Amino acid sequence: MSTTTPAGLLPHHWAELQASGIAADVAAANVASFGAGTDRHWETERAELVRFARLAIQAASATASGHPQGQAGFLADRLIRLDSRYRHLSGGGWRSLSDALPIPPPPPPAGDDGAPWDPGRGR
C-alpha cells in the first residue's frame, strides 16, 4: 500500500480509503476531501449533492390552480429543510467525484421491445 497521500485527499481520509483497499490512482481520480485544510468548501459540496433535489422542489411547486409557484417565501421552508439535512457536512469529509460521469439512459419500460404498437398484438 502507498504511504503517499494523493493530491486532494487529507491524510485521515486516505487512511480510510487504504483500509478499504482502494488503489491510490483510483482514489486520486475519483475522491476528494472537503472542509478545513482543503480548497473545497463544505457548502459548495452540499450544493452539489442537493442540486437535483432543489430543482425537483422548485419544479414541482404549483399554486392551487396549477400554475408554477414562483414566490420565494413559499419554497423557502422546503429548501431550508433540504439544506439543513446536510448541515453535518460542515465538519468536512470526503466524497466521490464520479457523479460527473455521464449517466446512461434509463432502460425501456418492461415489455417494450422497441417495435411500433400493433393493436392486434397484446401488450
CA 14 to chain centre: 21
Residue 111 falls within a domain, yes or no? no
Please give the residue range of the domain that contains residue 40: 11-99
* Residue-wise burial string across 40-60, b where 16 or more C-beta atoms lie within 10 A, e elsewhere: bebeebbeeebeeeeeeeeee
pLDDT in tens, 25-66: 888 888 888 888 888 888 888 888 888 888 888 777 777 787
pLDDT in tens, 79-118: 888 888 888 888 888 888 775 555 666 655 555 555 555 5
- What value does the mean pLDDT take over residues 8-37? 86
CA 86 to chain centre: 12
Query: What pLDDT is recorded for position 1?
Result: 52
Residue 40 falls within a domain, yes or no? yes
Q: What are phi and psi of 53, to 5 degrees?
A: -65, -40
Residue 92 falls within a domain, yes or no? yes
Total number of domains in the chain:
1
Cα 34 to Cα 77: distance, rounded to the nearest angstrom: 27
Give pTM, 2 decimals: 0.57
